[in-house]
Amino acid sequence: MKSIYNKFLSFIITIKGKIAFYPTLFGVGGFAFAMLMLYLEKIGVSAYVSARVPQLVIDNADTAKTLLNILTAGIISIMVFSFSMVMVLLNQASSNYSPRVLPDLISNKNHQYVLGAYLATILYNVFTLVGIDPKDTEKYQLPGFSVLIGIIFTVICLGSFLYFIHSISQSIQANNILESIYRKANQRLDVLINEETDKTPSFPDTSDWKTYHSSKTGYFQNIAINNLVNICQENEIQIKILVVQGEFILKDIPIIKVSQQVDDELVKKILSNFNFARGEFVEDNYVLAFKQITEIGIKAMSPGINDPGTAISTIDYLTELLAKRLQKNDQTIVTSEDDEALIFVTTVNFKELIYQVMVSYRTYCKHDMTCVQKLFIMLKYLLLQEKYVEDYHKTLKTEAELLYHDAQKAIENEKDLERIHQLYESLS
């Protein structure tokens, strides 16, 4: 049962990132509401409203049909234009920033809500139009109240269209994209840091443990930790997860080690708690945020774009995230209520994380004095921040030394080199 639930949860998480998810739900809602209004019309809702507020009810079949036709055609035009705007947005974001940011833009719920409102209104108006009987001459038999609701929905769509234009123009701005990525990663880091205990429990040596292999291919998205804890307690086993969250896993590669040999059924039960997908999300894997922000910064420094300002902004956001990462332990060990170590989760350590960030900037930005200067300022700030272990500061000094040597080789101006030397010495 838990296996089915995990698969269902993974499926929901995956489809929520699709651009058609919420529009489809809204469309179904629009159709259902149209059916409800057709039923209410049969029991005389228009007659009831007309008797009390006759100004609100249309009593002419031709007028009602013409009005609904115009409204539906107008919304279809707006919807087509809105979809075109989304495509332009995605194309520009992919060209100027990074293809990795596309899933976040596509899964923007506000944009999906607007497109869903269009679709729901179109379906509602169409089925209301079908319910109009031109042969019926009695005004109270016309779905006049339903037509009024269709007009109200259309006005809402017009307002949504104005919001959509404003939102779409804001979404493509570099600072807003960076802020969105930063906010999600920061929230995820807060959750992980709050889940940690003050003292890291010890975990036994796993060199002689039994290794089991992956049965699927895809990005390792997340784990149902609570289910795994229950499995460990029920079967008196310990598990070491060998792969890093967010890593692309191929079928039949080692994925877990278990403290004792277990049967195939239990292995299948354990692996059912690993969720795989063909895409990555910052909400599940904060390391992806570092990749995305770094790629945006490097893309900004490419000859075709040449935007040092955006590159510097990415360094600012990375500084904040790295400062938060300094507070997190490199090891993640899940314990029982009795503080017994049950699961060792392999994670990206701080040394590897900052190396992958810095090596990209050192490779593509070492010739730009403004970026080099900003990177030294970032490292100096991080050295002043609270750290979880002392080794983090040693790692920062190592990265500063690598940056110093690369910048010396790439920059020729003596004044700039003197400035770089001063910045490097200030880190000591």
pLDDT at position 207 is 85
Please state the domain count of the chain.
Answer: 2
- Find the DSSP H helices in 107-222: 109-130, 144-171, 174-195
In this structure, are 317 and 388 located in the same domain? yes
Q: Which H/E stretch holds residue 258?
A: strand 254-258
Please state the pTM of the whole predicted model. Answer: 0.78
Write out the residue range of the structural domain in which residue 104 sits: 2-172
138 alpha carbon, distance to own chain's centre: 54
Residue where a domain stops, chosen among 172, 201, 216: 172
Residue where a domain stops, chosen among 108, 143, 172: 172
**Which tens digit of pLDDT belongs to each residue from 223-236?**
888 888 888 888 88
**Side-by-side strand order, sheet with 341-345:** 210-213, 254-258, 239-241, 341-345, 332-335
In this structure, are 142 and 23 located in the same domain? yes
pLDDT at position 198 is 67
| Residue 272: inside a domain | no
Which of 341, 336, 319 has the alpha carbon at shortest distance from 396? Answer: 319
In this structure, are 150 and 297 located in the same domain? no
In this structure, are 64 and 153 located in the same domain? yes
| Residue 301: inside a domain | yes
Q: Tens digit of pLDDT per residue, the chain (428 long)?
A: 555 655 566 566 666 667 778 889 999 999 999 999 988 888 888 778 777 887 777 777 788 888 889 999 999 998 888 878 778 877 877 777 777 677 677 667 888 898 899 999 999 999 988 887 766 555 445 788 888 899 999 999 999 999 988 888 787 788 888 998 899 999 999 988 887 776 777 888 888 899 999 888 888 878 888 888 888 888 889 999 998 888 888 888 999 899 888 888 888 888 888 888 776 667 778 888 999 899 999 988 888 778 888 999 999 999 999 999 999 888 888 888 877 888 898 888 899 999 999 999 999 988 899 999 999 999 999 999 888 778 899 999 999 999 999 999 998 889 999 999 999 998 87
Give how far Cα 16 sits from Cα of 12, 104, 217, Å: 6, 11, 21
| Residue 150: inside a domain | yes
| Residue 83: inside a domain | yes
Helix 369-383 and helix 414-425: axis angle, to 10°? 10
Residues above pLDDT 70, as percent of the chain? 91
- CB-CB contact of 125 with 201 (8 Å): no
**Which tens digit of pLDDT belongs to each residue from 181-213?**
899 999 999 988 887 776 777 888 888 899 999
